[in-house]
Amino acid sequence: MKAVLALSLVLLCLLPTHARAAEVDITAPSAILMEKSTGEVLFEQDAHAVYEPASVTKVMTLLLVMEAIDAGTLCWDDVITASPYACSMGGSQIWLKEGEQLTVSEMVKAVAVASANDCAVALAEAVSGSETAFVQRMNERAKELGMESTVFCNCTGLPAEGHVSSAYDIALMSRELILNHPQLREYTTIWMDTLRDGQFQLTNTNRLIYSYPGATGLKTGSTDTALYCLSATAERDGMELIAVVMHAATPSDRFDSAAALLNYGFANYSLTQVYPEQVLPPISVLLGEQDTVQPVLDHDCTILTHQSQSAAVTTQVHLPEEVSAPVEEGQKLGEMIVYLDGEEHERVDLVASTGVARLTVWGIFQQLLDTLLFLPTHA
């Protein structure tokens, strides 16, 4: 008996950290915890099970709105006129009146804080001309993000047959939103605010914004059939986590489960910024208007480690002694290999910090002449 118990303990210790369901006490049947910068899953429990996402759907709605703003097809100060269709949504709303005008910024605030269905549809119409066209783009974007369990039938999350997603898929689109559109945090962190010149009160449907230290968002959802859902984000010490909870029985269950997931992540994981172990040397440029070009990291490199590990992070740099002009800014020159406990973890390109043009024929001649003039003489 003792031998069996000992073997069980050993096997438990060998399980991947995110597979140890007992380490996180949650009541929701489906959940996932993901780190933003790496996309690594820290914990999951039936994360691919398909459920109705309710208003967590609006994470994708907000993502497409933010992408339209980035593309310049929509601006924060643009004024949107409420259509009869947008005003007919029901459910959570700010009671738009037909013909009422609000800016994109005001409608995004209403969606992010109060989960306003009428504003979600008005924004969808502003981006794509109709909710139908917008929903088509939602499904296209879902496929691009690898959301294999998701089908959107509307942009609000109101009950509709076949409108489904999973905790894993919601984590994917939540990560895309907060990773590439940090400006939205100005709205998702609002606890209380107003619209219509202070005449309409908004209170965030996500109570973690008020109660959980470091909370940054993101979106709640609930219907009679979806029960209670949540995509909760929070940041501490430069690490932002995404906790998704699906089909919780009560509002408290979803918030408590999300908080437990976030607590587990912050207590057990940390990010390490990785840099080359030595200063990167400049590289000689043959026939360039400048003699050298400086290599730099193509992007920041961070490694997620469990705090129980004594992870040894080392790097190895591969760079040529010289390159030929022309050199384009951002051109790959070499790479940095990152090792974690002696095992290769990832490779990061080393690129040219600036461009270097090639010398003209006259420039080459002048360089040769200068070389000849400064050759040492021998008695």
- Residues annotated as part of the active site: 55, 58, 115
DSSP secondary structure code for residue 288 in this structure? B
Task: Looking at the chain, list the stretches that DSSP marks H as alpha helix, in order from N- to C-terminal side.
Answer: 2-14, 58-71, 84-87, 104-114, 117-128, 131-144, 167-180, 185-188, 208-211, 251-268, 361-373
The residues with which 248 forms a beta bridge, in sequence order, are 228
Closest CA relative to residue 124, chosen from 112, 109, 135: 135
**C-alpha to C-alpha distance for 223 and 157, rounded to whole angstroms:** 9
Cα–Cα distance for residue pair 328/288, rounded to 1 Å: 11
How large is the angle between the packed helices 58-71 and 117-128, nearest 10 degrees? 40
Answer yes or no: are the C-beta atoms of 57 and 226 closer than 8 Å. no
Phi, psi (5° rounding) for residue 303? -120, 135
CA 126-74-113 angle, 5° bins: 75
Q: From residue 173, give the alpha-carbon distance in Å to each of 43, 139, 167, 343.
A: 17, 12, 10, 31
Question: Using an 8 Å Cβ cutoff, are 356 and 290 in contact?
Answer: yes
Backbone phi and psi for residue 16, each to the nearest 5 degrees, phi listed first: -55, 145
Query: CA geometry: angle at 209 spanning 203 and 211, to 5°?
Result: 110
CA 291 to chain centre: 40
CB 221 within 8 A of CB 55: yes
Distances (CA, A) of 254 to 27, 145, 228: 8, 25, 6
Measured between alpha carbons, how far apart are the two ends of the chain, in Å? Answer: 94
Only one residue has tokens 């996180």, namely 24
